[in-house]
């Protein structure tokens, strides 16, 4: 059984026991435990079920590479699926539940898949479930979806906070083992800013577990000293629990800090995403031990040899009482020695190498451990946990020589450098055949902004397996990186360490070498996704020769561990099947992040009300407390209608229209874009920007203008006012302000950069209020201060003055067809002025109105709306706006485009008014049906609705639309689509439905 030892446990505090629940069972761990360690300490060997066959799964590893121990963690708004037990720190009150089984972890009906596995080979989905067609969607797929999926779907809203940090430094060092620490020391000595991050809570990596001696002291002591040196340096930032998750172009790197995963509820943010910009990245991420491929290597209790050692040394946990060790290299002997020292039983070390290993083997033998060389495991015995192994000759086909009972198998197939961060941005690898590993190829590094290498890999990750070489490499490259990042050349002496001499490893890709089909069909490569040796071999047999094909066909390496354990072994099996060398088969692409990171950390603080800032006009709060029904418009909130108690929104709109036409209405028009264009060449410039002439506009007057893109299509409209000789103020649509300002600047800076023109976007500096209706002049006169009589302020004129004591500018313009003024004033007085108007207007029947009322009134007048009548495919000529397109000007943006054959053409859809015969309202977006079908069998069309409303003024539906040659077809009746029923007939009419002579707006 697995249990807590009385000795060892450098990371735990035995004075601080922790209570937690696993599958509702009370368990006890210690502070400092990983959840995996806590589970093993409680003899919980079975921790989950695999993805495809629902096989029993136990803990394999001790770190980020763990494929099996994935847990539903927490509850409610703190629930997280697929939490990796090996990288989760146990805390008091933790609730953990195993995944992917029904009804229970111990008894899972899905395990039937395992019995049927011979019928479910790699790629079986593609070969079956084909008939009958409807069964895929309704029968097969739902079943497959349900049995896949691992963790439960969260249900509740996340209770935690997340945040982003920006960080700038010259050198980022990823990995807090001895290589990373030495590299950081070396880089920091040159004076550059250094950041050192370590993904776990603890520093030192493997060296501290393996008892390395550095500068004549224990690695643990050396690290303590080095960290305290670094921590007092002003140019160094150190973070543990922070993973270097991704490397991106131009020295951008992602740090993922798990601040309070281990202290939930302490009010700190849960995760912090570091957006790091640096010049050089040092990757000191060590290596991951490889499993061996033998039959039954997926049975709970089969673990990586170094992980077994970690549990004993770090947590004082023994994964079992009797451990058989199987290896192809010397390192696994360290596990044997550690276990033996801890008083545990090692019945046998199986070394696949014909002559075994070096000094470490001798030590093991001296300690009384039996070693068999040239042997392998034929088969692991057991179901939900290991009960024994049978051994065989590695060179043979698996004939059993002997059976040995044990409850743990510690395996080591060699080591794979963690080269992910080197590869994210295109760093290439080479195959080091003596070490049987892919190492970073320094000739092909990921390139930075200057075209030079921006990532360096040091230590074990760089293929150096001995501590002495690791420290020398890290020290050297730390200094080189610092210089490349602009630091001074200052060389430290690398910390000293005696190299232990190890015998070379022997690549073992299959155990035994000639394993028969039966054994291979039980030899797992990918434990989570259930990919076995035979699956990769089948893929090769079926022509999936590219490693990417094999990966996708078998799902090898596509599990949540992204192949950290399985990829190299799978690649080796594939290359063997194809009779190719491993480097010729290549690797799959390493993609960020290194391990999965929370979605919420990507969003950071920008959630709920902070998701996107809402732009508010000065009167926003007044609207809010007066029944505003809001509508999002380009970052702003605008009032759709002011809903009074007992009203539907529709009724509110009708009331607002009728009241404004009869009495007086106020509109908050502050969101309208307001751009000042100024300078000696401003007139010439505006003549290019607008389709009509602006240079000849008189000071004190306003003109409606259209803007087109260079591609000819209408992009914005608005009223332009000439302020003085060299100054114009351009109104844009609410959504268009920033875009149009940028558009102006683009042309000024990149085409006509010699023109003397300056622009500034004043949109937010000014509040603007439309005072609309027959009583509009009366309310302004009541407030007093400026002459707004028809003589002083005729239609399409503006004047500066004050109203009710507030300095303002009044424009006599109208988008409703009513007598109307738009008053612009400093934003900070907007609310005051608005409230004055509301008070003063009461006796004149004043009411505020919203955007929908605005739309109805403009449609009654046949005024176009950008975004309704236009959609990026409409030119001014389509909208009867040729009068606003200058014939005199040689050039303006869009003029050349409008001369192209398809546009300079009367045979287009053009603006008309439309009225149903029965007064009903046409549907938004309805199309006008034409006779016949096109070559693709689609019903022909001859137009479409662009705006459609109920007009309370006219008490009937009115619509504007684009109809093929429409203006010449007034009086004709055509049919429009109506969803779900037969088409509706409508008559083509003038688009001006109300007051066609314009008497109301021009009232004297």
Partner 1 sequence: MLMLNCPYCGMNKDETELSAGGEAHIKRFGPGSSDQDFEEYLFGRANPKGLHFERWRCSSGCGKWFHAARCTLTLEVFGTYEAQTLEPPQSIKDLITVKRPGWSWRAFS
Partner 2 sequence: MKRFSVFAIAREAMRQHSGWSRTWANPQPKKSYEVIIIGAGGHGLATAYYLGKNFGITNVAVIEKGWLGGGNTGRNTTIIRSNYLQDPSAAIYEKSRSLYENLSQELNYNVMFSPRGCMMLAQTQHEMRGYQRTAHANSLQGVKTEFIGPERIKQLCPIMNVDGPRYPVLGALWQSRAGSARHDAVAWGYARACSEMGMHILQKTEVIGVTQEAGNVTGVETSRGHIECKKLGMVVAGHASVVAEMAGFHLPIESVPLQALVSEPIKPCMDVVVMANTVHGYMSQSDKGEMVIGGGTDGYNAYTQRGSFHHLEETVRALIETFPMISRLKMLRHWGGIVDVTGDRSPILSKTPLGQTFINCGWGTGGFKAIPGSGWAFAELMAKGESPLTAEFGLDRFSAGRFVDESVAAGVAH
| Binding positions for partner 1, rule: CB under 8 A | 248-252, 277, 426, 447-451, 710-711, 742, 745-746, 749-751, 753, 890-891, 895-897, 899-901
- One of 17, 517, 624, 968 touching partner 2 (CB under 8 A): 517
Least Å distance, CB 705 to partner 2, is 22
Subset of 276-335 contacting partner 2 (CB under 8 A)? none
CB neighbour burial string for 669-697, b if at least 16 within 10 angstroms, e if fewer: bbbbbbbbbbbebbbebbbbbbbbbbeeb
> Cα dist. 29→12, 68, 199, 415, 531 in Å?
9, 20, 22, 30, 33
According to the binding rule CB under 8 A, does residue 596 interact with partner 2?
yes
- One of 1, 112, 128, 359 touching partner 2 (CB under 8 A): 128
Residue 612's binding partner among partner 1, partner 2, none (Cβ under 5 to 8 angstroms by kind) is partner 2
The two most distant CA atoms of the chain are separated, in Å, by 114
Select the span of 321-329, 492-500, 589-597, 742-750 touching partner 2 (CB under 8 A).
589-597
Residue 544's binding partner among partner 2, partner 1, none (Cβ under 5 to 8 angstroms by kind) is partner 2
Please say which residue, 828 or 934, places its beta carbon nearer to partner 2: 934
Spatial CA neighbour of 315 closest among 552, 99, 37, 122: 37
State yes or no: cis peptide before 1002, omega within 30 of 0. Answer: no
Which residues share a beta bridge with 276? 167, 253
- One of 249, 746, 787, 999 touching partner 2 (CB under 8 A): 249
- One of 636, 640, 642, 690 touching partner 2 (CB under 8 A): 640
Select the span of 506-514, 545-553, 573-581, 954-962 touching partner 2 (CB under 8 A).
545-553
Please say which residue, 144 or 213, places its beta carbon nearer to partner 2: 144
Please tell me the distance from the alpha carbon of residue 708 to that of residue 464, in angstroms, as a whole number.
64
Residue pair 689/714 in contact (Cβ under 8 Å)? The answer is: no
Please say which residue, 445 or 830, places its beta carbon nearer to partner 1: 445
Please say which residue, 355 or 591, places its beta carbon nearer to partner 2: 591
Please say which residue, 118 or 749, places its beta carbon nearer to partner 1: 749
> Cα dist. 537→82, 121, 293, 514, 554 in Å?
30, 11, 13, 14, 10
Residue pair 714/725 in contact (Cβ under 8 Å)? The answer is: no
Token readout for 25 is 């069972």
Please say which residue, 701 or 933, places its beta carbon nearer to partner 2: 933
Select the span of 25-33, 276-284, 492-500, 920-928 touching partner 2 (CB under 8 A).
920-928
* Other CB atoms within 10 A of residue 224 CB: 14
Give the DSSP letter of residue 139: I
Least Å distance, CB 712 to partner 1, is 10
Please tell me the distance from the alpha carbon of residue 739 to that of residue 717, in angstroms, as a whole number.
12
Please say which residue, 561 or 681, places its beta carbon nearer to partner 2: 561
- One of 221, 502, 545, 710 touching partner 2 (CB under 8 A): 545
Token readout for 727 is 């100054």
Please say which residue, 199 or 898, places its beta carbon nearer to partner 1: 898
Q: Which residues contact 136 (CB under 8 A, 6 or more apart)?
A: 129, 130
Helix, strand, or coil here: 277? Answer: strand
* Other CB atoms within 10 A of residue 164 CB: 16
Least Å distance, CB 609 to partner 1, is 22
Residue pair 685/752 in contact (Cβ under 8 Å)? The answer is: yes
- One of 114, 363, 626, 711 touching partner 2 (CB under 8 A): 711
What is the torsional sign of CA 360, 362, 364, 369? Answer: positive
Subset of 22-61 contacting partner 2 (CB under 8 A)? 51
Q: How many residues bind partner 2 (CB under 8 A)?
A: 115
Instruction: Reduce the secondary structure of 441-475 to three states and give it as a string.
Output: CCCCCCECCCCCECEEECHHHHCCCCHHHHHHHHH
Least Å distance, CB 451 to partner 1, is 4
Residue written as token pair 């027959």: 774
Please tell me the distance from the alpha carbon of residue 197 to that of residue 114, in angstroms, as a whole number.
42
Please tell me the distance from the alpha carbon of residue 770 to that of residue 846, in angstroms, as a whole number.
12
According to the binding rule CB under 8 A, does residue 583 interact with partner 2?
no
Residue 745's binding partner among partner 1, partner 2, none (Cβ under 5 to 8 angstroms by kind) is partner 1
Residue 670, CA atoms < 13 Å, CB-side half-sphere: 25
Residue written as token pair 């950081």: 184
Token readout for 247 is 């490397």
According to the binding rule CB under 8 A, does residue 426 interact with partner 2?
yes
Please say which residue, 743 or 777, places its beta carbon nearer to partner 1: 743
Q: Specify the pairing of strand 194-197 against strand 236-239.
A: parallel
- One of 33, 158, 716, 860 touching partner 2 (CB under 8 A): 158
Spatial CA neighbour of 411 closest among 528, 504, 323: 323
Phi-psi region of 310 (alpha: psi -120 to 50; beta: other; left: phi over 0): alpha
- One of 267, 902, 931, 997 touching partner 2 (CB under 8 A): 902
According to the binding rule CB under 8 A, does residue 548 interact with partner 2?
yes
- One of 15, 26, 131, 443 touching partner 2 (CB under 8 A): 131
Select the span of 616-624, 700-708, 921-929, 962-970 touching partner 2 (CB under 8 A).
921-929
Binding mask 822-861 for partner 2 (x = CB under 8 A): ----------------------------------------
According to the binding rule CB under 8 A, does residue 155 interact with partner 2?
yes
Least Å distance, CB 318 to partner 2, is 31
Give the DSSP letter of residue 303: E
Please say which residue, 79 or 685, places its beta carbon nearer to partner 2: 79
Please tell me the distance from the alpha carbon of residue 844 to that of residue 834, in angstroms, as a whole number.
15
Please say which residue, 758 or 844, places its beta carbon nearer to partner 1: 758
Instruction: Give the sheet arrangement for strand 371-373, strand by strand.
Output: 302-304, 408-412, 322-327, 345-351, 371-373
Q: Specify the pairing of strand 302-304 against strand 408-412.
A: parallel
Least Å distance, CB 17 to partner 1, is 46
Residue 749's binding partner among partner 1, partner 2, none (Cβ under 5 to 8 angstroms by kind) is partner 1
Residue 944's binding partner among partner 1, partner 2, none (Cβ under 5 to 8 angstroms by kind) is partner 2
Token readout for 187 is 């880089």
Least Å distance, CB 887 to partner 1, is 12
Please tell me the distance from the alpha carbon of residue 686 to that of residue 722, in angstroms, as a whole number.
11
Token readout for 530 is 């259930």
Select the span of 184-192, 390-398, 603-611, 809-817 touching partner 2 (CB under 8 A).
603-611
According to the binding rule CB under 8 A, does residue 157 interact with partner 2?
yes
- One of 26, 749, 935, 1004 touching partner 2 (CB under 8 A): 935
Least Å distance, CB 899 to partner 1, is 7
Q: Specify the pairing of strand 252-258 against strand 271-277.
A: antiparallel
Least Å distance, CB 762 to partner 1, is 15
Least Å distance, CB 939 to partner 2, is 4
Q: Looking at the chain, how many residues does it have?
A: 1004
Please say which residue, 16 or 250, places its beta carbon nearer to partner 1: 250
Residue pair 886/692 in contact (Cβ under 8 Å)? The answer is: yes
According to the binding rule CB under 8 A, does residue 607 interact with partner 2?
yes
Least Å distance, CB 97 to partner 2, is 13
According to the binding rule CB under 8 A, does residue 701 interact with partner 2?
no
Please tell me the distance from the alpha carbon of residue 178 to that of residue 176, in angstroms, as a whole number.
7
According to the binding rule CB under 8 A, does residue 624 interact with partner 2?
no
Binding mask 95-124 for partner 2 (x = CB under 8 A): -----------------------xx-x--x
Residue pair 880/970 in contact (Cβ under 8 Å)? The answer is: no
């Amino acid at each position: 059984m697995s249990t807590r030892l009385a000795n060892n446990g450098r990371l735990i505090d035995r004075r601080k026991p922790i209570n937690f629940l696993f599958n509702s069972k009370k368990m006890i761990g210690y502070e400092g435990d990983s959840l995996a360690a806590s589970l093993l300490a409680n003899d919980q060997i079975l921790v989950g079920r695999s993805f495809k066959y629902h096989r029993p799964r136990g803990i394999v590893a001790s770190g980020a590479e763990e494929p099996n121990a994935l847990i539903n963690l927490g509850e409610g708004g703190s629930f997280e699926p697929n939490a990796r037990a090996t990288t989760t720190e146990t805390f008091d009150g933790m609730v953990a539940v195993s995944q992917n089984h029904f009804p229970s972890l111990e008894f899972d009906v899905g395990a039937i898949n395992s019995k049927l596995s011979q019928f479910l080979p790699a790629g079986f989905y593609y070969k079956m479930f084909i008939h009958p067609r409807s069964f895929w969607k309704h029968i097969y797929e739902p079943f497959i979806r349900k049995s896949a999926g691992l963790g439960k779907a969260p249900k509740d809203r996340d209770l935690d906070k997340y945040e982003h940090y920006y960080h700038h430094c010259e050198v980022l060092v990823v990995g807090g083992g001895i290589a990373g620490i030495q590299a950081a020391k070396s880089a920091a000595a040159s004076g550059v800013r250094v950041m050192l991050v370590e993904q776990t809570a603890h520093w030192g990596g493997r060296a501290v577990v393996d008892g390395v001696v550095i500068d004549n002291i224990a690695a643990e002591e050396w690290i303590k000293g080095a960290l305290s040196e670094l921590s007092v340096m002003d140019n160094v930032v150190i973070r543990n629990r922070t993973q270097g998750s991704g490397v991106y172009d131009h020295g951008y790197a992602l740090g993922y800090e798990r601040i309070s995963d281990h202290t939930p509820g302490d009010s700190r943010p849960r995760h912090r995403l570091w957006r790091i910009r640096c010049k050089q990245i040092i990757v000191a991420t060590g290596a991951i031990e490889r499993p061996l491929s033998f039959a039954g290597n997926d049975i709970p209790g089969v673990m990586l040899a170094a992980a077994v050692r970690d549990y004993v040394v770090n947590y004082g946990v023994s994964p079992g009482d009797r451990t058989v060790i199987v290896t192809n290299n010397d390192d696994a002997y360290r596990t044997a020695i550690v276990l033996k020292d801890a008083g545990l039983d090692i019945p046998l070390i199986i070394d696949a190498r014909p002559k075994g290993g070096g000094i470490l083997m001798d030590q093991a033998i001296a300690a009384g451990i039996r070693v068999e060389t040239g042997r392998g495991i034929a088969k692991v015995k057991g179901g939900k946990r290991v009960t024994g192994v049978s051994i065989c000759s590695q060179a043979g086909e698996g004939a059993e020589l002997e059976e040995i009972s044990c409850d743990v198998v510690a395996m080591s197939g060699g080591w794979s450098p963690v080269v992910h961060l080197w590869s994210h941005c295109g760093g290439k690898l080479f195959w080091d055949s003596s070490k049987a590993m892919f190492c970073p190829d320094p000739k092909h590094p990921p390139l930075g902004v200057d075209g030079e290498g921006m990532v360096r890999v040091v230590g074990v990750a760089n293929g150096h397996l001995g501590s002495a070489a690791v420290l020398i490499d890290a020290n050297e490259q730390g200094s080189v990186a610092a210089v490349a990042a602009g630091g001074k050349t200052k060389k430290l002496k690398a910390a000293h360490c005696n190299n232990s001499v190890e015998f070379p490893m022997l690549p073992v890709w299959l155990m035994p070498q000639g394993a028969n089909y039966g054994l291979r069909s039980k030899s797992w490569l990918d434990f989570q996704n259930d990919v076995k040796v035979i699956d990769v071999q089948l893929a090769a047999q079926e022509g999936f020769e590219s490693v990417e094909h094999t990966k996708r066909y078998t799902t090898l390496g596509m599990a949540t561990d992204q192949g950290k354990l399985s990829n190299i072994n799978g690649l080796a099996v594939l290359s063997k099947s194809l009779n190719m060398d491993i480097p010729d088969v290549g690797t799959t692409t390493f993609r960020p992040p290194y391990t999965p990171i929370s979605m919420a950390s990507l969003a950071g603080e920008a959630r709920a009300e902070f998701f996107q800032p809402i732009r508010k006009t000065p009167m926003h709060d007044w609207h809010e407390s007066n029944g505003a029904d809001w509508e999002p418009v380009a970052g702003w909130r605008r009032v759709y209608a002011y809903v009074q108690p007992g009203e539907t929104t529709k009724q509110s709109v009708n009331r607002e229209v009728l009241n404004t036409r009869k009495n007086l209405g106020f509109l908050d028009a502050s969101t309208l874009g307001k751009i000042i264009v100024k300078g000696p060449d401003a007139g010439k410039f505006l003549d290019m920007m607008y389709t009509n002439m602006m240079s000849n506009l008189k000071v004190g007057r306003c003109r409606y203008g259209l803007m087109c893109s260079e591609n000819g299509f209408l992009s914005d409209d608005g009223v332009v006012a000439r302020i003085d000789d060299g100054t114009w103020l351009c109104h844009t649509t609410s959504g268009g302000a920033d875009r149009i300002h940028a558009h102006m600047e683009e042309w000024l800076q990149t085409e006509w950069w010699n023109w003397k023109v300056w622009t500034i976007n004043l949109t937010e500096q000014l509040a603007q209020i439309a005072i609309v209706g027959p009583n509009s002049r009366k309310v302004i006169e009541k407030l007093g201060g400026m002459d707004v009589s028809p003589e002083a302020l005729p239609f399409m004129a503006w004047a500066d003055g004050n109203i009710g004591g507030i300095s303002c500018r009044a424009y006599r313009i109208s988008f409703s067809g009513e007598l109307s003024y738009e008053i612009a004033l400093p934003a900070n007085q907007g609310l005051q002025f608005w409230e004055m108007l509301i008070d003063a207007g009461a006796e004149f029947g004043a009411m505020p109105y919203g955007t929908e009322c605005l739309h109805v009134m403009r449609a009654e007048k046949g005024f176009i709306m950008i975004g309704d009548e236009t959609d990026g495919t409409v030119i001014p000529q389509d909208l009867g706006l040729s009068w606003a397109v200058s014939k005199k000007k040689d050039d303006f943006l869009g003029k050349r485009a409008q001369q192209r054959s398809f546009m300079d053409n009367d045979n287009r859809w053009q603006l008309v008014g439309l009225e149903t015969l029965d007064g009903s309202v046409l549907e938004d977006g309805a199309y006008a049906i034409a006779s016949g079908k096109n070559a693709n069998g689609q019903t022909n069309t001859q137009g479409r609705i662009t705006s459609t409303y109920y007009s309370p003024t006219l008490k009937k539906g009115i619509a504007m639309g684009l109809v093929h040659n429409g203006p010449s077809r007034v009086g004709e009746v055509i049919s429009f689509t109506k969803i779900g029923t037969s088409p509706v007939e409508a008559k083509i009419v003038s688009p001006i439905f109300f007051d066609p002579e314009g008497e109301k707006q021009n009232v004297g």
